[in-house]
Structure 1
Amino acid sequence: MLLGAWLAAPAGAQPPPAPARAVPALVTELSQRRVEITTGFTGADILVFGSTERPIGEGSDEVLVVAVGPPQPMVVRRKVRLLGFWVNGPAATFPEVPGFYAIAGTRPAWQMLPEEARQSNRLGLDALPLRAVGAQGPAFRAALLELKKDAGLWVEDVAPVAVTGGRLFHARLPLPATVTPGAYRVEALLVRDRRIVARQELEFDVVRVGAAAGIANVADRRPMLYGMACIALAALAGWLGSVLFRRS
């Protein structure tokens, strides 16, 4: 004997509604994904903007934005006085340091997170792992920090992340004229109860275009030709200047 079960539904009945999609805890985007360096490049601003699931503010959700540029080696030398002349003294080589580093938040990172979490996530200039080869000592690290900060290449808490309407935020990352071409990474962190609960990574590229790209290409591939051209241009500029001043 075959037994069956049947289930009848009323005519015109609608299927059960699909479950509501969860709202992401953090959504971010960049104002541009490509920065072009031309001969007249004077710097640029990258706008990072987004929204959070919960209102932003102290005691609730808070936001940190970190931007890191391509790594590069750096040499820091100490000048010493010898027989009345300043000469190069001990040098420390940092094999791999960020060419650019910027961090901003609704509050400084050290106020949002425990020190261990801040250091492990490299949130702040003092949390960067700057390994030195050669001369050692905190003075060389301090000199590197000062040089990068003066050049506008390492920026910390210059302007806080701005909040609009409770859940919308934006931050401006200033790129100086001396910024290095390459791939840049931007990371937005959502902090809640002194813990990082969500993060999102974005990328943008800095590229040389036009005459600036041609000059950089010659300087990299044919440095002797580039040096001779610079000397010739300097001599030509000096000669033209002397002619003009002589006529006046």
Structure 2
Amino acid sequence: MMRAACLLLLLLLGLPAARAQEAAAVPPSLTAELSVRRVEVTTAFSGAEILVFGATERLIGPEGDEVLVLVIGPETSMMVRQKVNAMGFWINGPSARFNRVPSYWALASTRPLTAMLDRVERADLRLALDQLPLVQLGAQGPTFRNALANLQQEAGLWVDRDRPIEVSGGRLFHARLPLPATVAHGLYQVQVMLVRNRRVVARQELRLDVVRTGTSAFIADVAREQPVLYAIACIIMAGLAGWIGSVVFRRG
């Protein structure tokens, strides 16, 4: 009788610990989705918006979980030239070529990153423009990289300002990130991360396809596949435009 009571007591004492271990083994829950998976770029395209929404298992807030969204566009190469003054004329000087440049980069979070993640975690995830793994060829130095960042930010292609993620009902969230009219076509990687205790504990990756359609797609295909024909067509169109303009103004 005493032995059975001891066994029962041990089972009762061990039950909460077993439940805690079972709960710890369950991965954090994060569900996210895009409002659209495909953005069509036409000649009338003036920009769009990436809408990311989802839900978490626990409450979102300073004392609970946090969410951040990172969008990265297809990689490209860019050239940055420095202008130099030679006898009163501005001419092209040293230049640097950058490879593996994300054509689009934007970040949104429920709070500023410094309040959500520690420095090591931010560096590992490269959650800053100055931590992008760009390959710089030609002229060296931070001046060219800073110039590249300024150009991309002015064009709205690199969004490094803290954009807030809106929270509803404690567990539902959504983020809106702008796509400018000059956005590149291709596959965009959308990463939704769940942050707990200043570390990323869950991640979901989504894909957004930006495609050219209609006349813009035809022009882009001709320029890429038949550059000589494209150049001749541009010269002819420019000549026609000049001739029509001269006729109109002559009549006026």
Q: What residue in structure 2 maps to residue 48 of structure 1?
A: 52
Matched, 1:239 2:243: yes
Once the two structures are superposed, the pairs formed by residues 1-248 of structure 1 within 5 Å of their partners are 25-248=29-252
Q: Aligned-pair distance for 1:158?
A: 4.9
Q: Aligned-pair distance for 1:24?
A: 5.8
Q: What residue in structure 2 maps to residue 19 of structure 1?
A: none
Report if the CA contact (8 A) 1:109-1:124 is conserved: no
Aligned-residue sequence identity (percent) comes to 59
**TM-score, normalising length: structure 2:** 0.86
Q: Which amino acid is the alignment partner of residue 35 of structure 2?
A: S
Unpaired segments of 5 or more residues in structure 1?
Answer: 1-21
RMSD: 1.4
Output one character per residue of 1:46-68: Cα deviation in whole Å (capped at 9) or x when no partner: 10000011111112111100000
Rounded to whole Å, the distance in 2 between the matches of 1:164 and 1:104 is: 16
Rounded to whole Å, the distance in 2 between the matches of 1:131 and 1:95 is: 5
Rounded to whole Å, the distance in 1 between the matches of 2:228 and 2:240 is: 18
Report if the CA contact (8 A) 1:108-1:157 is conserved: no
Output one character per residue of 1:209-237: Cα deviation in whole Å (capped at 9) or x when no partner: 11111100110111121111112111211
Rounded to whole Å, the distance in 1 between the matches of 2:65 and 2:158 is: 26
Q: What residue in structure 1 maps to residue 17 of structure 2?
A: none
Q: Which has the higher helix share?
A: 2
What is the count of residue pairs matched by the alignment? 227
- The structure 1 segments of at least 4 consecutive aligned residues displaced by more than 3 Å after TM superposition are none
Q: Aligned-pair distance for 1:240?
A: 1.5
Rounded to whole Å, the distance in 2 between the matches of 1:23 and 1:50 is: 17
Report if the CA contact (8 A) 1:105-1:157 is conserved: no
Q: Aligned-pair distance for 1:118?
A: 0.5
Rounded to whole Å, the distance in 2 between the matches of 1:47 and 1:118 is: 24
Q: Aligned-pair distance for 1:108?
A: 2.0
Q: Which amino acid is the alignment partner of residue 204 of structure 1?
A: L
Report if the CA contact (8 A) 2:96-2:140 is conserved: yes
Rounded to whole Å, the distance in 1 between the matches of 2:89 and 2:229 is: 33
Query: What is the SS of the residue equivalent to 1:157?
Result: strand
Report if the CA contact (8 A) 1:191-1:197 is conserved: yes
Rounded to whole Å, the distance in 2 between the matches of 1:244 and 1:97 is: 45
Output one character per residue of 1:184-233: Cα deviation in whole Å (capped at 9) or x when no partner: 10000111110111110000111111111110011011112111111211
**TM-score, normalising length: structure 1:** 0.88
Distance 1:157 1:164, change over 3 A: farther
Q: What residue in structure 1 maps to residue 7 of structure 2?
A: none
Distance 1:190 1:49, change over 3 A: same
Rounded to whole Å, the distance in 1 between the matches of 2:130 and 2:67 is: 20
